[in-house]
Amino acid sequence: MPLHNTSNRYGAVSKVFHWLTALLILTEIPLGLIANGMAQDLNSPGIVSTQADIQRTALLFSIHKTTGVLIFFVALARILWALTQDKPAPLHPERRLETFLAETVHWLLYGSLVLVPLTGWIHHAATVGFAPIWWSFGQSLPLVPKDETVSHLFATLHVIFIYVLLVALALHVAGAIKHQIIDRDATLRRMWFGGHGTDLPAKAAPHTALPAVAALIVWAAALGFAALSGVFASEPTASEPTAAAADSASAPADPDDTASAGWQVDEGTLNITITQMGSTVTGTFADWTADITFEEPAAPGPAGTVDVTIAIPSLTLGGVTQQAMGPDFFDVENFPTARFEAEIEKTTDGYVATGTLTIRDTTLPVTLPFDLTIQDQTATMTGTLQLQRLDYQIGQSVTDPASLGLDVDVDVALTATRARK
Ligand code: HEM
Ligand code: HEM
């Protein structure tokens, strides 16, 4: 069988590329749908997820992403090959509308082969954690920041381009069946293997740019329709402000706050770091308040108090934010805030806050050693402590540290100014 196309038949390379792509795409679509459905179950607060559920979902996503990246490169090779080849002329060029539709759909399919995997890949690269791609490259991509908004945008684009692909594919396959069953012509046979096609008359193919323009209009219309329906505007649910933020803002304030020992937090970060499937994932609480009293003592001894209230729903934790909110983890429905209350002490070599940390309905003693520098009326502190999540009944169904590490590192950094008398 000749390798190259001619003006009336496909060569072996084009055929292999076509059916390999068809096989990969027809496997990839159900993989994506099933993995996404499972992820939605994991994120659903009403469904208790087990360790096996999480592992199965991650596995399916890893297969989906790894196959998707493969499709991307096969598609590039296929497109480069097609550019060097003759395009076999339509068998019925006189059927103008049908030919125009078939060629528009071919453009949509070629374009989808690039746009769908590329948007999925960028979505992955912008997301922190969860299921890895199994290729040794591509966990991150140049110019793609790890950013929740970018990740959400490209997840949305991935799905929009999938819709276009699905419609184009349905039309394409329906067309192939129509040619086979109704027209009974050689359309399907000349794409299949064997000697068919060489006997077909070579007809002049009317080459116009119209089908390509029509394909661009279809993509633009899909994006416009999606924009009008508001999918781009909707933020990932995890970053929506919640009632708990208001809750934390009204945390009981110590009357001493207004005294000279009171400090006003100007800015700060509160991060947690976990290890998921071997990868480190750092999450941030956007909403928390701290009531601090502090008076530098002349010698080691008591130095003040600290009372921190943290709005759990303000946490963003890579791709698993929703999961972290679920009943098996923070159970945000029932326990929207966490609280750290401690006495501050100056020690011989630094400072330490010793008190209790309440997460869910568990209160345990904790010690937070921290560094502090005070310049003029501004204090800068940084501190780190390690918690065991199972002590707080967080993720009790996930006991295998290989899936989700047991240690949780907490990092806090803040700048505060002394409140006026
Ligand atoms: C079971 C599924 C499929 C069937 C039965 C099928 C059938 C065909 C047939 C018969 C042709 C030849 C059309 C002609 O000669 O004018 C063709 C061409 C084509 N098919 Fe498919 N196809 C399938 C899946 C796919 C998939 C999944 C893609 C890509 C996403 C795809 C992309 C294309 C493209 C771009 C062409 C134009 C020819 C070329 O330049 O390679 N097809 N297909
Ligand atoms: C041609 C290749 C691909 C096809 C046909 C495809 C198809 C799909 C489908 C059908 C879904 C489910 C959408 C839904 O239920 O709303 C999906 C979701 C997803 N795909 Fe792909 N995909 C491809 C490539 C990729 C690649 C290369 C990656 C990443 C490296 C990827 C990552 C994802 C992710 C993370 C989701 C979940 C989206 C979300 O969070 O909303 N996909 N994909």
CA–CA dist 43, 276 (Å, integer): 16
Whether the pLDDT of residue 138 is over 90: the answer is no
CA-derived radius of gyration, the chain: 29
Question: Residue 236 Cα, ligand 2 centroid: separation in angstroms?
Answer: 17
Number of neighbours of residue 8 by Cβ within 10 angstroms = 19
- Per-residue pLDDT tens digits for 344-403: 999 988 899 999 999 998 999 899 999 998 888 888 999 999 999 999 999 988 888 888
Is the CB of residue 14 below 6 angstroms from any atom belonging to ligand 1?
yes
Residues in contact with ligand 2 by the CB-under-6-Å rule are 25, 28-29, 32-33, 36, 64-65, 68-69, 71, 116-117, 120-121, 123-124, 133, 155, 158-159, 162
Euclidean distance between the first and final Cα of the chain, in Å? Answer: 91
Give the model's confidence band at 196: pLDDT under 50 very low, under 70 low, under 90 confident, else very high: low
DSSP-derived letter for residue 4 is S
Is the CB of residue 176 below 6 angstroms from any atom belonging to ligand 1?
yes
Q: Nearest Cα to 105, choosing from 158, 167, 148, 48? A: 167
- Per-residue pLDDT tens digits for 58-111: 889 999 999 999 999 999 999 999 999 988 888 888 899 999 999 999 999 999
Q: Nearest Cα to 410, choosing from 308, 301, 313? A: 308
CATH 2.40.128.110 domain span(s) along the chain = 241-418
- Per-residue pLDDT tens digits for 294-304: 888 888 899 99
**What CATH class has 241-418?**
mainly beta
Residue from 27, 62, 139, 158 to probe ligand 2 pocket by mutation (most atoms less than 8 Å from CB): 158
**Atom nearest to 33 CA in ligand 2:** 12
Q: Which pair of structure tokens corresponds to residue 108?
A: 């949509």
Beta bridge partners of 271: 284, 411
- Per-residue pLDDT tens digits for 11-38: 999 999 999 999 999 999 999 999 999 8
Question: Residue 175 Cα, ligand 1 centroid: separation in angstroms?
Answer: 10
What backbone torsions phi and psi does residue 411 show, to the nearest 5 degrees? Answer: -120, 130
User: What DSSP element (H or E) covers 345?
Assistant: strand 337-347
Whether the pLDDT of residue 267 is over 90: the answer is no
**Atom nearest to 138 CA in ligand 2:** 30
Residue with tokens 């480190």: 280
Q: Which ligand is nearest to the CA of 157?
A: 2
Question: Residue 37 Cα, ligand 1 centroid: separation in angstroms?
Answer: 28
